Chains A and B, each alone.
Chain A
Amino acid sequence: MAMRYSIKYVVALCASLALPGTAMAEFSEFENPNIQEVQPWDTIRIGRVPDDIYLRDIDDPDDIIWDRIPSYRTYLSIAPPVHPSTRLRFNADSGTNLYFQIARTSDYFLVRLRWKDTTKNVATSIDGFRDAAAIQFALNGSTDTSYMMGSGPDSPVNIWYWRSDYDFNVEDLAAGGYGSTTLLPDQQLNGHAAYIDGRASVDQEWHLVMARKIGSDGEHQIDLTQDEIPISFAVWQGANGGRDGNKHVTQGWILLDNSLEDGKSFDDDKAQASTQTSNQ
């Protein structure tokens, strides 16, 4: 009996050493068979919300529809510093996991993000920085465009940047290289976030939905009707002074298969998405 307890203890100790901090916190998510690991350069299909499902708010971060959309996990690592100011603050930490779901209705393109954050930072003040997250799209649909803020003015990226300090809080941006991020004159993104203040710190996380009408793209705004859309993600931790290049990012493009297959049902789509990830 004593022997069995001590073996259990050793196993538990090994497990805790192998999966410290957030990794331990996300252990249950690794076990979740409905969440698939996605690497940069993998292709995933966009989930579809059938027209007969009514969404009260297009950007409700906890709408029950999200329980029926395939969920993916991807690893965000610290962005390499490209400016002396980011280099001075570079902290090669272990990165973080981002959970994402992507869906479209007939009218809207929706992205839902979830990530663990034990510190809720919703103010941009003299004494602190805000939490933030962003989705980046290669504007011409080309994976030749650098996933690090685009490749100059001729190969720009479109960025949807959510900031936790405003009510109307998703900025539509474009960039063509480091330091060139620019607010676009035409702002028509929807976005809403909820901070989940769980009982234990492992449950504390941001839920965020960003949405835009399909077919409403102007200059430097992603065309959401093209068949393949390269995207990547970024998360800023306000508690760590996150801003600018002090962020965690996808180190490459994730490819969205946006092709329409008429006649397929929502559930068919879901089943297909849950079995399809390349490079696995």
Chain B
Amino acid sequence: MAVKRQISMVLDLNKCIGCQTCTTACKLMWTNRSGREYMYWNNVETMPGEGYPRGYQQAGGGFDKDGALKLSKQPSLEDYGIPWEYNYEEALMTGTDPWLRPNIKPTWGPNWDEDQGEGDYPNSYYFYLPRLCNHCANPACLAACSRNAIYKRQEDGIVLVDQERCRGYRYCVNACPYKKVYFNEELSKSEKCIFCYPRIEKGLATACARQCVGRIRWIGYLDDEDGPIHTLVEKYKVALPLHPEWGTQPNVFYVPPLSSSKFGPNGEELDEPRIPLAYLEGLFGERVGEVLETIKRERQAKNEGRESELMDTLIGFKHAEMFKLS
């Protein structure tokens, strides 16, 4: 789907510390109440892990090789995590309940498997994967909507749900393989990440990116050769889409994580990364190995006191250089 310009985000997974500040920034800004309690337009999940909603990577959706929509398992509220409230009034104010406790018995929720990861000591591993709507060039949600209620803005490629046209059929929820469209029970309409377009229109970065304490996010236009997105995605080619095989052509890209060496049976360091390359290739495609080599090479250059435009970009010295919105 051709648009005049495409806004885009790069996230460096080597820098993400899983603090959920982005998640909180987004939630407080957009999904605090009114049927959105269970929604996380931005979330950070531990990989390997079930993700949010649970098992979304195995659910289906997206497009097949011929470009036809694929049916997916519809996530249940339990798969997202049933949101709960606490009895603050009774426990803390009136004292009528001695315990502060949730109003339901929680059995699953976002980050239920936080920091579990895979592998056995000393070769256990995990990393964090922040996720938001990919504002795809070929959005499955848009293709699935029988009412043309989902559209992609010409001026920046942001994908939005027209709340006037939406009648809550939830084909989009099913079709998005990333499960980044959510159904609002109170309004009977679907909702999703809006890439903070009211902020973007004022030249401000999205809340998740601006609040990120690890400074892992860059925002800009794909075609802006002076911008950080072009540097990372096109020039050095170190940022890759998540699950490109799903056919939606995401516009959110990730710098895959390097990891320390695996240990052998006698505690010796092996020439093998802790996070298996095959696992990362399963997420970000075949170019992961090449990307990791580029990052290692440029790190080495910086270590040795040589110039590295790539490392200077990835360090993210100034917000003004990380977010180029003109």
Residues of A within 8 A of B (CB): 82-86, 88-89, 124-127, 165, 178-181, 243-245
Contacts and interface: CB of A to CB of B under 8 A. Distances in A.
Contact of B148 (A82, A165, A179): A179
A85 B185 contact: no
A88 B148 contact: no
Interface in B124-176: 143-148, 167-171, 175
Contacts of B148: 179
A125 B80 CA distance: 13
Given A85-B171, A125-B77, A125-B185, A179 B69 contact: no
Given A83-B146, A89-B71, 19 more contacts: A82-B146, A84-B69, A85-B145, A85-B146, A85-B171, A88-B69, A88-B71, A124-B168, A124-B188, A126-B77, A127-B77, A178-B146, A179-B146, A180-B147, A181-B167, A243-B170, A244-B169, A244-B171, A245-B146
A127 B80 CA distance: 11
Contacts of B75: 126
Contacts of B175: 85
18 contacts: A82-B146, A85-B169, A86-B146, A88-B69, A89-B71, A124-B188, A126-B38, A126-B75, A126-B76, A127-B76, A127-B77, A179-B146, A180-B147, A243-B167, A243-B168, A244-B146, A244-B169, A244-B171
Nearest to A161: B167
Contacts of B170: 243
B68 interface: yes
B144 A84 contact: yes
A146 B114 CA distance: 54
B41 interface: no
A234 to B, nearest CB: 14
Interface string B69-85: 10100011100100000
A181 B147 contact: yes
B221 interface: no
Interface of B: 38, 68-69, 71, 75-77, 80, 143-148, 167-171, 175, 183, 185, 188
> Main secondary structure on chain A at its contact with chain B?
loop
Which one of B69, B167, B183 has the greatest number of beta carbons of chain A within 10 Å?
B167
A82 B146 CA distance: 9
A9 to B, nearest CB: 44
A148 to B, nearest CB: 13
A241 to B, nearest CB: 8
Contacts of B143: 84
A181 to B, nearest CB: 7
Nearest to A180: B147
Contacts of A82: 146
Contact of A124 (B76, B146, B185): B185
B188 A85 contact: no
A165 B186 CA distance: 11
Contacts of B168: 124, 243
Contact of B80 (A83, A126, A165): A126
Contacts of A83: 146
A85 to B, nearest CB: 4
B167 A85 contact: no
A179 B183 CA distance: 19
Contact of A126 (B69, B71, B183): B183
A243 B169 contact: yes
A171 to B, nearest CB: 10
Contacts of B77: 125-127
A180 B77 CA distance: 30
B73 to A, nearest CB: 12
B165 to A, nearest CB: 8
A181 B175 CA distance: 21
Contacts of A125: 77, 185
Contact of A85 (B69, B76, B80, B183): B69
A88 B140 CA distance: 14
Contacts of B147: 179-181, 244
A244 B143 CA distance: 15
Contacts of B188: 124, 165
B70 to A, nearest CB: 8
A245 B171 CA distance: 12
Task: Count chain B CB atoms within 10 A of each CB in A82, A178, A244 and give the residue with the most.
Answer: A244
